[in-house]
Amino acid sequence: MVEKRIRNSAAVRGDEIRARELELAIGKGLLRGTQLLVRTPSLCLPDCNICEQACAERHGHTRLRLDGAQVEGFVVADACRQCSVGAECVEACPEDAFERTASGILLITDRCTGCGACVAACPYGVVANVPLPQQRAAGGPLWALLRGTVSKLRGQPLIPLEPARRTHRADKCDLCHGYDDQACVSRCPTGALRLVAVEELFEL
What is the number of structural domains in the chain?
1
* Domain assignment present for 35: yes
Low-confidence ranges of the chain (pLDDT < 50): 136-137
Give me the domain span that covers residue 190. Answer: 1-79+181-204
pLDDT given for residue 137 in this prediction:
47
pLDDT given for residue 115 in this prediction:
95
CATH number at residue 42: 3.30.70
* Domain assignment present for 117: no
* Domain assignment present for 18: yes
Dihedral class, residue 163 (left if φ above 0, else alpha if ψ from -120 to 50, else beta): beta
Looking at the DSSP bridge assignments, the partners of residue 196 are 36
* Domain assignment present for 17: yes
Looking at the DSSP bridge assignments, the partners of residue 130 are 169
pLDDT given for residue 133 in this prediction:
81
What is the sign, positive or negative, of the torsion defined by CA atoms of 192, 193, 195, 198? positive
3-state secondary structure of 8: helix
3-state secondary structure of 35: strand
Count of beta carbons in the 10 Å neighbourhood of residue 23? 11
Distance separating alpha carbons of residues 181 and 193, to the nearest angstrom: 13
Distance separating alpha carbons of residues 54 and 64, to the nearest angstrom: 11
pLDDT, tens only, 11-31:
555 667 777 888 888 899 999
DSSP character at residue 113: -
* Domain assignment present for 14: yes
Count of beta carbons in the 10 Å neighbourhood of residue 7? 11
* Domain assignment present for 29: yes
* Domain assignment present for 34: yes
Spell out the alpha helix ranges (H) of the chain.
Answer: 2-13, 16-27, 50-59, 88-92, 117-121, 141-152, 183-187, 198-201
* Domain assignment present for 38: yes
